[in-house]
Amino acid sequence: MKLHFQDVPIRVLDVIRTLQEHKHQAYLVGGCVRDMLMSVTPKDWDVCTDALPKRVMKYFLRTIPTGIDHGTITVNSGGEMVEVTTFRSESGFTDGRRPDEVEYEIDINADLLRRDFTMNAIAWDPIFNVLADPFDGQGDIERRVIRAVGDVNKRFKEDGLRCIRAIRFQTRMGFEIEPETHAAIGANLETFAKVSIERRQDEFFKILVMPNAQEGLIELCETGLLDHIHPMLSQNGCYTCLNNVKPTVEMRLAALFCSYANSYISDEDLLTPLKLPAKMEAFILTAREQKCVPGRLGPVADRDIRIWIRACGDIDANELLDMYAALTGESPNNFFRVRGLITQQPRKLALDGHEIKEELGLAKPGPLIGKATKMLWSLVLGDPNMNTPEMLRAALREYHE
Domain 5-143 grouped into CATH 3.20.20.140:
no
pLDDT, one tens digit per residue, over 30-50 is 999 999 999 999 999 999 999
pLDDT at residue number 236: 64
Q: What is the pTM of this model?
A: 0.84
pLDDT, one tens digit per residue, over 197-225 is 999 999 999 999 999 999 999 999 999 99
Q: Can you tell me the distance from the alpha carbon of 78 to that of 365, in angstroms, rounded to the nearest whole number?
A: 54
DSSP codes, 72-85 = EEEEEETTEEEEEE
The closest of 145, 149, 109 to 29, measured between CA atoms, is 109
Whether the Cβ atoms of residue 387 and residue 351 lie closer than 8 Å to each other: no
- Angle of helix 367-382 versus helix 353-360 axis, rounded to 10: 110
pLDDT at residue number 339: 86
Q: Residue 198, class by beta-carbon neighbours within 10 Å (0-12 exposed, 13-18 middle, 19+ buried)?
A: exposed
What is the CATH architecture assignment of 144-229? Answer: Orthogonal Bundle (1.10)
Residue 146 has pLDDT above 70, yes or no: yes
Q: Can you tell me the distance from the alpha carbon of 295 to that of 303, in angstroms, rounded to the nearest whole number?
A: 10
Average pLDDT over residues 254-269: 73
What torsion, rounded to 10 degrees, do the Cα atoms 380, 376, 386, 351 define?
A: -120
pLDDT at residue number 261: 55
